Amino acid sequence: MTAADAKTKIIDRARTLGFDAVGFAQADEHLTEDYARFQAFIAAGKHGVMNYLAESAPARERVDTPLILDGAKTVISLARRYQRSPEDEAADPPLAKLVARYARGQDYHNHLRKKVRSLARFVRMLGEDVRARPLCDEEPLLERAWAARAGLGFVGKNGLLIVPGQGSMVLLAEVVTNLALPPDVPMTERCGSCTRCLDACPTQAFDAPFVLDPRKCIAYLTIEAPLVETSSEVGEHLFGCDDCQTVCPYNRAPVTRTNDAKPFRPLPVWSETTLEQLASGDEPLFAAKTKGSPLRRAGAVGLARSAQRVLRSRQS
Ligand code: SF4
Ligand code: SF4
């Protein structure tokens, strides 16, 4: 089988598994420029309390090492869209609407990991001695940079990967393999003169187009560091924020039947939960309410702090 045939088979398989976009990048060419930007980000302390980013920084420059996959030749970059249609979203319970869209349903790692593992098994069967490592947030990886290099999309002024035809509400995963496959061509940036995301950000978290200071971002303030005091206007955001994506014209791409958004529908528990309950910080209640949900990451005290902020913002 030629490398081009193997690539076609992988694309077909990835589509069958439910991935909405697939791209290929040469793995043994290191991410020099992106890594330099990442180092500058860490040196400036913009990672805030996310110490794991600084600790694992050296591992993010390359993937062809024992840490990821010795002898890696290709990164297969995968995107799974989580955006739902406006009609579908309209029925979400009020509490779920205070939560970033990716986090309203079950923890996405569960179903995404199954798909990416299945694709890695398929790649291994494409030849003798083929090795393939599935990755879904397990290892430090500059996954947005790899996705851009793989031609999956381009990084917009909001700092997110935008997949034309699918938008930016996508989850990323990778299969890294020692199989050499024809790489795709990176896409040029297509924001043009648009600045909607920068203008829409409630906390002015962008230092410049493409340059986010996470310490000012509501996603950071409600998920990673909910206990950090902030003067920023967090408003009615309980967990995460979609504002810089909601306004992006690329997210007007219609949701199609091939986009399986069912796992991202709100968990039933959000219909029976109030902000006041979450604001109480009650540990057993938090454990029951966030079972299988990404909101567990904030912790009972952290989620309570965010719920209290929302309640205060409603009173003011
Ligand atoms: S997620 Fe919200 S707070 Fe963060 S940069 Fe985007 S609009 Fe600003
Ligand atoms: S809102 Fe405009 S500037 Fe921002 S990412 Fe989308 S297209 Fe680019």
Q: How far apart are CA 149 and CA 193, in angstroms?
A: 23
Residues 119, 78 contacting (CB under 8 angstroms): yes
Residue 188: inside a domain: no
* 133 and 250 co-located in one domain: no
pLDDT at 18: 93
Which of 195, 199, 251, 252 best tests ligand 2's pocket when mutated (most atoms within 8 Å of CB)? 195
* 83 and 128 co-located in one domain: yes
Rounded to an integer, the average pLDDT of 223-227 is 86
Q: How many CB atoms lie within 10 A of CB 267?
A: 22
Residue 182: inside a domain: no
Average pLDDT over all residues of the chain: 93
Predicted confidence (pLDDT) per residue in 156-167, tens digit: 999 999 999 999
58 pLDDT band, cuts 50/70/90, is low
Residue 149: inside a domain: yes
pLDDT at 91: 93
Reply yes or no on whether the pLDDT at 66 is more than 80: yes
Mind spelling out the 3-state secondary structure of 197-229? HHHHCCCCCEEECCEECHHHCHHHHHHHCCCCC
* H helix or E strand, kind and range, residue 313: helix 299-315
pLDDT at 274: 95
Predicted confidence (pLDDT) per residue in 184-202, tens digit: 999 999 999 999 999 999 9
Which of 102, 158, 222, 238 best tests ligand 1's pocket when mutated (most atoms within 8 Å of CB)? 158
Ligand having the closest approach to the CA of 158: 2
Lowest-pLDDT choice from 67-81, 99-113, 123-137, 220-234: 220-234
* 22 and 158 co-located in one domain: yes
Residue type, 282: D
* 25 and 165 co-located in one domain: yes
Residue 191: inside a domain: no
Q: Ligand 1: which atom is nearest the Cα of residue 212?
A: 5
* 119 and 213 co-located in one domain: no
Would you say the pTM of this structure is higher than 0.85? yes
> How many domains, in total, are found in the chain?
2
* 211 and 247 co-located in one domain: yes
The strand pair at 161-162 and 154-155 is best described as antiparallel
The residue nearest atom 1 of ligand 1, judged by CA position, is: 241
Residue 185: inside a domain: no
The residue nearest atom 6 of ligand 2, judged by CA position, is: 248
Residue 122: inside a domain: yes
* 153 and 272 co-located in one domain: no
Which single residue is written with the structure tokens 């209640």?
A: 285
Residue 65: inside a domain: yes
CA 278 to chain centre: 25
3-state secondary structure of 34: helix
pLDDT at 19: 95
Q: How far apart are CA 243 and CA 225, in angstroms?
A: 19
* Distance set, CA 92 to CA 87, 89, 105, 270 (Å): 10, 5, 11, 9
Predicted confidence (pLDDT) per residue in 84-134, tens digit: 999 999 999 999 999 999 999 999 888 899 999 999 999 999 999 999 999
Rounded to an integer, the average pLDDT of 161-190 is 96
* H helix or E strand, kind and range, residue 163: none
254 pLDDT band, cuts 50/70/90, is confident
- In the reported structure, the alpha carbon of residue 83 is separated from the centroid of ligand 2 by a whole-number distance in angstroms of 17
* 201 and 96 co-located in one domain: no
* 255 and 126 co-located in one domain: no
Rounded to an integer, the average pLDDT of 265-273 is 95
* 264 and 120 co-located in one domain: no
* 238 and 297 co-located in one domain: yes
Reply yes or no on whether the pLDDT at 231 is more than 70: no
* 255 and 152 co-located in one domain: no
Biggest CA–CA distance in the chain, Å, is 66
- In the reported structure, the alpha carbon of residue 88 is separated from the centroid of ligand 1 by a whole-number distance in angstroms of 23
The range of the structural domain enclosing residue 293 comes to 196-315
Q: Ligand 1: which atom is nearest the Cα of residue 216?
A: 3
pLDDT at 61: 80
pLDDT at 57: 66
pLDDT at 232: 66
Reply yes or no on whether the pLDDT at 5 is more than 90: yes
Rounded to an integer, the average pLDDT of 140-165 is 96
Which single residue is written with the structure tokens 């076609």?
A: 8
Ligand having the closest approach to the CA of 215: 1
Residue 187: inside a domain: no
- In the reported structure, the alpha carbon of residue 150 is separated from the centroid of ligand 1 by a whole-number distance in angstroms of 26
pLDDT at 140: 84
217 pLDDT band, cuts 50/70/90, is very high
Of 146, 177, 208, the residue at which a domain comes to its end is 177
- In the reported structure, the alpha carbon of residue 50 is separated from the centroid of ligand 2 by a whole-number distance in angstroms of 26
